Structures are given as structure tokens and as C-alpha cells.
Structure 1
Amino acid sequence: MRTLPKRLKKGDTVGIIAPSSPPNLENLQKALPFLEGLGLKVKLGKSLKEKRGYLAGDDDARLADLHAMFEDPEVAGIICAGGGYGAARYADRIDYSMIKENPKVFWGYSDITFLHTAIGQYAELVTFHGPMLASDVGKEEFHERSARMFGQMFGPFELHYSEEISLLTSITGGIAEGELVGGNLSLLRSSIGTRFEIDVKGKILLIEDIDEEPFRVDEMLNQLRMARKFDEVAGIVIGDFKNPEPKKPEKSLTLDQVFDDYFSDLKVPVVKGFKIGHCEPHFSVPLGAKARLDGDGKTLTILPGVE
């Protein structure tokens, strides 16, 4: 049973960090009033404005920001400015014992998936897969429903996803209950064979991704299959796969064909069409919280992610 972080309240301070790539600073500035509108104060990480190629400063700087925000007693929660690449580079140096002693709301997605998996498995903390400041909140297309999803940081309420939100398709039926884990498929694949390999035994696996052609999704799902992940899983939630169009459609399977190849014979519920991922609106979810996937009724219910 993972630890639930304490709920945020108005007047709290949240730390803003860039665990991976340099965020768009203009979009970040546009996003800060949104947090202020929620009644939150902000504390900016030191590496936010740093650049080392495709990284927001060197690994030591980004790791130091992560540690500092979890250790700081004045910081009640941590929200990532953006993703990109780089969080996995220092995952083996994170002080998980310290994080376990200082459980806080931790919010992000995409490349942050590697941190969600690592923190969930080694600090046993529920974390949040949701929109980030520079990548999402600071853009004009940021959706009202995406904004409302931040409310789950402030109170323990149950989430319920049905076809009232988006069209859902059941690949296989049945009902599964278990912890919701996962996130970005390419990051989950990159965990295979490491000490941070995603644990899906008896759990409901969420997958989503962006800019991946069907053959690439196929390759990643095949690695998870050969790592026996689909033998152990209780159910699968297929989120948004943005921009999956193949460069040569006449020589490609469709993404739906790929999903059918891997999931149609599974004996567990698999449902696709969830607006979870690089999309608007973006339905935020607590990873590590208990969930119920109904493949027949096409619903996903998730227990609160804060206490």
C-alpha cells in the first residue's frame, strides 16, 4: 500500500523543477498565474534556466533541485515544468529514503514517467500523471477540463472516467482492480532490465505516447510482451497516442491493428481511447492509487491520490 501525500491547501508553496529538458521559459511564466489562481505560492528550482544541450543543466543540478524540493519543509508539493529527456540519467542516485520520509504531491508526465516508476517503487509514494506548466498550462490550447483536474491535489475525491469524456473502445472485456501504474510507453520500455523495471504484477497498466509510428509502438509493446509484462498485468488502460501517423501509410499497420495484435487475446480488460497523455483535455490520474477498470461498461474509477 503506497503512501498518499498530504493534500495541498490555499497558501501552500509548490516547488517548480525541470527534471529533464529545458522548459520554454515564456510558457512557464504564462503558467504561474494559474497556480496563483489556485491559491498557491511558487518556489522556482535553480536549474530551470540552465541549459546543457537537451538537458536543463547537468545531472547534478537537476538532481539537487529534486532533492531540495522534497527536503524543504516550506514546500508542500512539486510540479514539473516540462519533460523532454533526462530524468532517468540520475534515477540511480535519488535518495528514495529521504523522499519516503517527506511524502509530497509530485506532478508531471512524459519523461517524468521514469521518476513516477522509480519513486513509486522505491519511496512507495502515490504520484500524479498530469499536465506540466511550460509544456501544457502555459499554452493557449490548455483546456478547462485539464485545469479542473488540478483540484485533486486539494482534496481526496474519487475519479470516474466514462464515455461522457471521450469515446472508448473495449479490446477485451472483464473487470480488473489494482494499483494504477505506468505512463509514457517509451519510458516504461526503457526501464526493462534495470532496477527500475516497471512492476505490473496484479496492477492496471497505463500506456500513452507521442510522435511514435505504429512500427515503433509495436516494437515497444513487443519488448514488454517478451519481458512477460502482459502475463502479469491485471488490466490495461490505453491513453492518448498523439501523432502516430506513419510516414509510409501504404507500408504500415494502423495503430489499432497493433493494439489488437498484442491485446485482443489477453484474458484481462483492455480499453482504449482515454484522454490521458499528450492531449487536450488531459485527464490527470494518481499513479499508485487503487483503480477499477471495467472493460464491459468501459469505465475507469480511481481512488483519491491524497489524504
Structure 2
Amino acid sequence: MLPKRLAKGDTVGIIAPAGPPDPDELNKGIRFLQSLGLKVKLGQHCNNVYGYLAGTDEERLYDLHDMFADPNVQAIICARGGYGTGRIAQHINYELIADNPKIFWGYSDITYLHTAIRQQTGLVTFHGPMVSSDIGGEHFDSLSKRMFEQMFEPRRIVYSEKIAPIDIITPGDARGEIVGGNLTLLVSTLGTPYELGTANKLLLLEDIGEEPNRVDAMLNQLRLAGKFDEAAGVILGNFSDGEPSGKKPSFTLQQVFHQYFSSYPKPVVSGLQIGHCLPNIAIPLGTIANLSTTTKTLTINPGVW
């Protein structure tokens, strides 16, 4: 299910379904969206602070439902990640979302919502920079800004080494629906009604602040759950701040990746600037993509909406 594209003058809703956004960064991000010719509706509870959450579960769920139900809101962009989306997944009205398909945009902890919404409704959603934590940040770059153009005009995305070096761990070509996102969040779906399905799909993984031993443990859990065996290929995005700390012996992240995938019989690449990084390349999850190690490209064909 494809959302409707945006036009100048449309209204985007901003919600904080996980952690609370920084007010100054949020306002800066809002000004950027307005510079694109968009109007902004701020979620009623977007500025709430409830421990490490942006409001209670009921308040954050209310804002999500309110934005999908409001006929004057054409897209929904998350303010930031953090933690909390998994707490509301079982209470979401997925029929409401299916009846009102809109652009839904975010990443990090929003991975849980991307997975749940797509698998419950079929809606294509966007893994991309967020209003407070990215757009409102000090170093938000021009390439990441251009990623928002696909909300107005769906376009073929060709990721190549013109953006950043790509490391081939296992050669090959594969085609499939691109799914995934944050590794920690994807592991947290296992054993739940929202467990990520990877059969014949290209699996995207990224994370931040997870040292090699933690990434090792999570990759092992996905492996034992059969997620790699089922997938058509694996795309490793950015794993920022993942260097080993302290004086204890450790593998590097790249060594961990090669241990898991060097003998994998399907294509695997790493180093893509998708996730907690700049530039942060936004992609539509749930669309068909082609991964080629021959040309070192990831090509995403979003369809027309």
C-alpha cells in the first residue's frame, strides 16, 4: 500500500512516539519543514516528558491515532527515537492506518512501528532523518535534506560509492522487498506478534552505541531465529559509536560482520550511510530493491503514488 505524495501547502503532523524531543531542536526542525512549503501540526503531547518517554503510553498513542485520523494531515514525521514504540504497538488501531494511508517517516526506535505497521497493513513507510534529533541538529547536511524531496516526487534511489565506500562481505546480486532498520529494535520484535519477517527480503540493519560483543549477540539471535537463512541478502548500514571500549580484548565490528557473513551464500554489503549518521540516506521500506555487488549499488524502485 503506497501513501499519497505531498504538495506544497500540505500539512505534516509531528509526533514523539518514543523519547521526548529537545524543544530548540524541534523548533529548528519545524522551520525546515516550513521552508519546504509545508504546514505543521504538532502532536498534542509532543512536548510531554514522562521519565524517558514523551508522555504516557496513552498520550503517545493518542497522537499517533490523531494524526492518521485527521483528514487535514497528509504525512506524519517523528520528532526523535529513543525508546518507547514497542510499548504501544499492541494498542495501535491498524485498521485506522490501513484506511488512511499516509507518509510515515522516522528511524531508530521508530523501527518497531515501521515493522508493525507494514506487516499489519502493507503500508510503505520511510526510514529517514527526524525532526528534532536530525533536522534540528547542528550539522544536518544538504544531502540528507534532499532526501525529503521523495515525499513530493517518488524517485528511483541509486546508492553507490559516490556517497561512501561500500565493503563487499559476500558477493552476489539479489532482489526483494527492503525491510528492517535498527538492529536492537528488530531483535526486540522476536517472539512477539510483530516479529520481523525476512523471507525473500533484503534485510537492512543499523545501530548506534552498541559495542562489538553486543552486536555479535544480536546477530546471533537473528541467525538462530532463521532470519538470515530466509533473507535474500543483507545490507549493513551505519553502526556509529560502536568501537570497543576499555582495555579488554575485542573484535572490531567489521570482524564480527565477516564472522557472520563471509561464508553466507547470499550478497552482504556494509558501510552504507543509512541510520545514525550524516548523511542519512532516507529510503522507503516495503518497496522492491536490487542489491548488486558487481556494480556496488543498492537500487530502490519506490513505485508511483
Asked if these proteins are the same fold (TM beyond 0.5), I'd say yes
- Match of 2:275, SS state, is coil
**Where does structure 1 lack aligned partners over 5 or more consecutive residues?**
none
Summarize deviations over 1:35-90 as a string: whole Å, max 9, x none: 01111000000111111100100000000100010010000000000010000001
For 1:130-169, list aligned pairs within 5 A.
130-169=128-167
Q: Match of 1:289?
A: 287
Pair 157,206 (structure 1): closer, same or farther in 2 beyond 3 Å:
same
- Aligned 8 A contact 1:126 1:305 in 2: no
- Aligned 8 A contact 1:170 1:296 in 2: no
* Letter in structure 2 aligned against 1:167: P
Take 1:159 and 1:187, find their aligned partners in 2: how far apart are those partners? 25
Take 1:47 and 1:128, find their aligned partners in 2: how far apart are those partners? 23
Q: Match of 1:261?
A: 259
Q: Match of 2:273?
A: 275
* Letter in structure 1 aligned against 2:271: G
Take 2:284 and 2:304, find their aligned partners in 1: how far apart are those partners? 9
- Aligned 8 A contact 1:55 1:85 in 2: yes
Q: Match of 2:299?
A: 301
For 1:103-118, list aligned pairs within 5 A.
103-118=101-116
Q: Determine what percentage of the aligned residue pairs are the same residue.
A: 58
Q: Match of 1:192?
A: 190
Offset of residue 296 of structure 1: 2.3
Q: Match of 1:78?
A: 76
Take 1:227 and 1:49, find their aligned partners in 2: how far apart are those partners? 38
Q: Give the RMSD, CA atoms, in angstroms.
A: 0.9
1:68 to 66, 69, 76: 66
User: Post-superposition, which runs of at least 4 consecutive aligned residues in structure 1 deviate over 2 A?
Assistant: none
- Match of 1:251, SS state, is coil
Q: How many residues align?
A: 305
Offset of residue 250 of structure 1: 4.9
For 1:194-273, list aligned pairs within 5 A.
194-248=192-246, 250-273=248-271
Take 2:304 and 2:179, find their aligned partners in 1: how far apart are those partners? 16
Question: What TM-score do you get using the length of structure 2 for normalisation?
Answer: 0.99
Take 1:9 and 1:178, find their aligned partners in 2: how far apart are those partners? 30
Q: Match of 1:102?
A: 100
**Where does structure 2 lack aligned partners over 5 or more consecutive residues?**
none
* Letter in structure 1 aligned against 2:16: A
Question: What TM-score do you get using the length of structure 1 for normalisation?
Answer: 0.98
- Match of 1:152, SS state, is helix
Q: Which moved more, 1:246-255 or 1:6-15?
A: 246-255
